[in-house]
């Protein structure tokens, strides 16, 4: 198969799952059981590559390919960020019930928080938003109780570790500072579980309100559709969608630049210079040796110590196995005699204590 076809083709299980038939695992079972056909041929491999022109059917019924959807949702407080059913709780699925495509979220918000969430059915798009390597910035407005200490927050913004979990540096701006409440705007590039709440809790502040204003270039303020209200959704513009895919292309270009020919030539030239310097400084005993770290340096594998044939492998042998039958029986008898004697002794003490209690009761009654 050519490269062009590989780029256009998609795994069969992904298309079947995206059409809303079932979960990914159930779709894999359906394919393996022979229920799915591609161009009227039974395919049993879930990883089979399918083109856009191929016709796919489940139980002889042709499925329609899903169109890619990119939606911004303003999640209200008290709504759980899940597409699964939760008894007695509101979930984000209630805001896009009428959409036939099978959607999922790209980045969560806890039920006590509100703000922008990205909803999509494109796994690649969701990965760009959620993976920390793409460094998609997220902006939050945080209201905390009390007057915020700017020095404490500045120290935390350089990077902080809480309960063996390290949080990366963030930017902040104090919008208001009062005796009762303070409002801070925070910009972070990662989305660890309850990150902002844990940071302020560590600084001895309680978060009163937490609102996510934007994810990347997607904001609750939009020139075309206006301010997005709680519980409302809107489709992302082409410019907003392109922004996230450009972020991926930028990351790929950075990776490709590592293997650039010019950079390799510079690296090898630097190696030759180092070798010349070493030859000149071999006679100098007083010169200090410094380790030159390079991007291509690799740690040398540790040499395994050979196992000598003289050493015998240690094996566990129970103590009773080395004794004879007579010694075993004598040992068991001694043990049983000890336990029986202990029981008798305890019984005598128990009976004695009962007798003493009865006698003390009789004396009290006589008085």
Q: Point out the residues that are catalytic.
A: 110
Q: What is the DSSP letter of 111?
A: T
DSSP 38-99: ETTEE---TT-EE-TT--EEETTEEPPPPPP-EEEEEEPTTEES-SS--TTSEEGGGGGTT-
- Rounded to whole angstroms, what are the CA distances from 228 to 61, 233, 308, 365? 40, 7, 74, 86
User: String of b and e for 208-219 (b: at least 16 CB within 10 Å)?
Assistant: eebbbbbbbbbb
| Closest to 137 measured CA to CA, from 248, 230, 218 | 218
- Rounded to whole angstroms, what are the CA distances from 358 to 144, 273, 348? 68, 101, 15
CA pair distance 209, 212, nearest whole angstrom: 10
Backbone φ and ψ of 160, nearest 5°: -145, 150
Tell me if 225 sits within 8 A of 235, measured CB to CB: no
Q: How many CB atoms lie within 10 A of CB 205?
A: 21
DSSP 143-211: EEES---HHHHHHHHT-EEETTEEE---EEEEEEE-SSEEEEEEEES---TTHHHHHHHHTT--EEEEE
Tell me if 43 sits within 8 A of 36, measured CB to CB: yes
**Phi-psi region for residue 107, left (φ > 0), alpha (ψ -120 to 50) or beta?**
left
Token couple for 295 = 């991007």
Residue 311: HSE in the Cβ half-sphere, 13 Å Cα cutoff:
5
Question: What is the widest separation between alpha-carbon atoms in the chain?
Answer: 112
Residue 228: HSE in the Cβ half-sphere, 13 Å Cα cutoff:
26
């Amino acid at each position: 198969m050519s490269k062009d076809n590989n780029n256009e083709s998609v795994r069969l299980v992904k298309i079947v799952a995206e059409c809303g038939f079932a979960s990914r695992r159930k779709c894999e079972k359906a394919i393996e059981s022979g229920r799915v056909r591609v161009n009227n041929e039974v395919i049993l491999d879930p990883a089979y590559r399918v083109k856009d022109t191929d016709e796919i059917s489940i139980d002889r019924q042709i499925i329609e390919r899903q169109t890619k959807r990119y939606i911004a949702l303003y999640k209200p407080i008290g709504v759980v960020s899940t597409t699964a059913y939760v008894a007695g709780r509101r979930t984000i699925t209630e805001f896009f019930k009428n959409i036939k495509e099978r959607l999922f979220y790209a980045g969560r918000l806890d039920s006590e928080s509100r703000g922008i969430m990205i909803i999509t059915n494109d796994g690649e798009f969701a990965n760009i938003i959620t993976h920390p390597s793409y460094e998609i910035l997220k902006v939050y407005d945080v209201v905390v109780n009390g007057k915020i200490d700017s020095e404490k927050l500045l120290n935390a913004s350089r990077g902080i570790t809480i309960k063996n979990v390290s949080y990366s540096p963030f930017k902040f701006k104090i919008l208001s500072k009062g005796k009762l409440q303070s409002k801070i705007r925070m910009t972070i590039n990662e989305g660890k579980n309850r990150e902002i709440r844990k940071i302020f809790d560590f600084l001895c502040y309680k978060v009163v309100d937490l609102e996510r204003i934007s994810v990347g270039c997607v904001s609750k303020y939009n020139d075309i559709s206006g301010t997005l209200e709680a519980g409302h959704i809107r489709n992302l513009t082409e410019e907003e969608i392109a922004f996230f895919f450009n972020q991926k292309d930028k990351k790929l270009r950075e990776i490709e630049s590592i293997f650039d020919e010019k950079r390799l030539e510079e690296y090898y030239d630097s190696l030759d210079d180092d070798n010349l310097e070493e030859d000149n400084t071999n006679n100098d005993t007083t010169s200090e040796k410094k380790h030159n770290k390079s991007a291509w340096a690799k740690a040398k594998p540790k040499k395994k110590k050979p196992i000598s044939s003289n050493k015998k492998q240690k094996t566990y042998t129970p103590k009773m196995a080395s004794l004879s039958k007579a010694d075993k029986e004598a040992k068991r008898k001694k043990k049983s005699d000890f336990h029986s004697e202990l029981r008798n002794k305890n019984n005598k003490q128990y009976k004695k204590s009962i007798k003493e209690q009865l006698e003390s009761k009789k004396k009290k009654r006589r008085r």
